[in-house]
A = this chain, B = another copy of it.
Amino acid sequence: MFYHVQSLINEIVADEPDPSAANALQEGLGGQFGEMRTMMQYLFQSFNFRGDAKPYLDLIQGVGVEEISHVELISKTISTLLDGSPRYQGKKFETPGKGGAESMAMAKEQQNPHHFIVGAQGALPVDAAHNPWNGSWVHDHGNLVLNLMDNLVLEATGRLQKCRIYQMSANKTLRNTVAFLIVRDEAHQAAFGKALESLGVNWSKVLPVPKFDSTQWPEVKRLMDLGIHREQYTFRLDGSDMGAIFSGAAPFNDGTEVVTKTEPDRSFPIPTAPERPEEFAPGLDPELQALADALTEFKEGMAKKADAKKPASKSAKKK
């Protein structure tokens, strides 16, 4: 069973909107080697897991749970990059296109017009070339060694593609998120590299892929200085054996150490996205808003009752 807190695993940094940066970042979300794939691949491998090698299960599933939070982070980043982009392009819009004003003229020239026609300046489950995410990309071979190797290739490709995307835009909103994912994909290479090391493989100097000094990028350096590239989180409310594998020397033969934690040291607030009238989003027009407002008053009374009803049993479960 899964639980949620309304927080992000990394901060969204503000900058100007940039629809083509948003489109490039879609590769990291809905691409063949993006976060939706990693999330689904590790969850399927966990749900179908055979045998009693529990530390391996806990490692794969723990990374999988983290990936759901990556999907949340990268979706929010794409939304933020798209948000208000018609206005940003120097064309003022009215609500909606009053008198026939051409308020979204720029939208039809963008990389992915679906960001403006199908979604309301929000993330889509597609890649940077507009292909919808596809279930055939999820690999669960049902063989532990092969799954670990496949996962390692997946994380290496993830880091490679994000390093390329980093260089495609100086936008701070994009870079701050991409830097975090570069660092985490290195940690995940360490996770699967370490698991294969436990079965005898010595990686010499081939990991992490790609080989280069990523501290030259300041957003990446800041996170590595905090040691985030050597941490792994269980995200488990009932304990985990992940640490049996993910501890000790990193599998990169570089003298660093890896460490397992329950969750990241910090989490970050989720910014509220403004309404976009030119997209008819959300579309609670005045009449419906009045009904919603009545509900809000009602809610305040309700919320107290709901709080009162919340069971104390969950905290017990976690002890």
Contacts and interface: CB of A to CB of B under 8 A. Distances in A.
A69 to B, nearest CB: 5
Interface string A1-19: 1111111110000000000
A93 to B, nearest CB: 7
Contact of A50 (B52, B237, B281): B281
A211 B167 contact: no
Nearest to A267: B1
A79 B169 CA distance: 23
A128 B141 contact: no
A55 B108 contact: no
A102 B167 CA distance: 5
A109 to B, nearest CB: 5
Contact of A4 (B65, B113, B121, B129): B65
Interface in A287-311: 287-288, 291-292, 295-296, 298-299, 302-303, 305-307, 309-311
Nearest to A218: B100
A129 B236 CA distance: 35
A200 B104 contact: no
A120 interface: yes
B285 A212 contact: yes
A256 interface: no
B200 A144 contact: no
Interface in A149-195: 149-150, 152-153, 156-157, 160-161, 163-170, 175
Given A126-B135, A167-B97, A236-B3, A204 B206 contact: no
Contact of A44 (B75, B306, B307): B75
17 contacts: A1-B8, A2-B65, A24-B108, A36-B135, A43-B71, A44-B124, A48-B122, A49-B282, A50-B274, A51-B284, A132-B134, A142-B276, A142-B282, A145-B209, A199-B288, A241-B303, A243-B306
Contact of A125 (B44, B101, B237, B303): B44
A291 B202 CA distance: 14
Contacts of A85: none
A240 to B, nearest CB: 7
A68 interface: yes
B317 A315 contact: no
Contact of A49 (B61, B196, B273): B273
Contacts of A235: 1-4
Given A143-B280, A167-B93, A3 B65 contact: yes
A225 interface: no
Contacts of A262: 309-311, 314
A201 B198 contact: no
Find the residue from A5, A124, A141, A196 having the highest chain B CB count within 10 A.
Answer: A141
